Amino acid sequence: MTYQNLSIAKEDRIAIITIERPKALNALNTETLKELEDCLRSLSKDPAVRVILITGKGKSFIAGADVKEMQEMNSKQALVFSSLGHRVLDLIQEMEKPVIAVVNGFALGGGLELAMACDLIVASDKAKLGLPEVNLGVFPGFGGTQRLPRLVGILKAREMIFTGEAIDARTAQEIGLLNLVVPDDDLLTKTKELAKKIAGKSENALALAKKAISQGVGEMGLSSALALERDLFARSFAHPDQREGMSAFIEKRKPRFQ
Ligand code: CAA
Judged by DSSP in three states, 191 sits in: helix
Which residues are known catalytic residues? 113, 133
Q: On the CB side of 217, how many CA atoms lie within 13 Å of its CA?
A: 15
pLDDT tens string 54-98:
999 999 999 999 999 999 999 999 999 999 999 999 999 999 999
Rounded Cα distance, 17 and 28, in Å: 14
Range 7-29 burial, b when 16+ CB lie within 10 A, else e: eeeeeebbbbbbbbbeebbbbbb
Given a cut of 70, the residues of the chain with pLDDT beneath it are: none
Ligand 1 pocket residues where CB is under 6 Å: 24-25, 27, 63-68, 85, 106, 108-110, 113, 132-133, 136, 140-142, 144
Residue 106 sits at φ, ψ, to 5 deg, of -65, 125
- State which of 19, 25, 142 you would mutate to test the pocket of ligand 1, scoring each by most atoms of that ligand within 8 A of its C-beta: 25
**By the 8 A CB rule, do 22 and 52 touch?**
no
Sheet containing 14-19: give its strands across. Answer: 6-11, 14-19, 51-56, 99-103, 120-124, 180-182
**Assessment of whether the complete model's pTM goes beyond 0.85:** yes
d(CA 160, CA 187): 25
Using the mean position of ligand 1's atoms as its centre, give its distance from the Cα of residue 112 in Å: 13
Task: Give residue 1's pLDDT.
Answer: 75
Helix (H) or strand (E) run with residue 96 in it: none
pLDDT at 143: 98
Confidence (pLDDT) at 2? 87
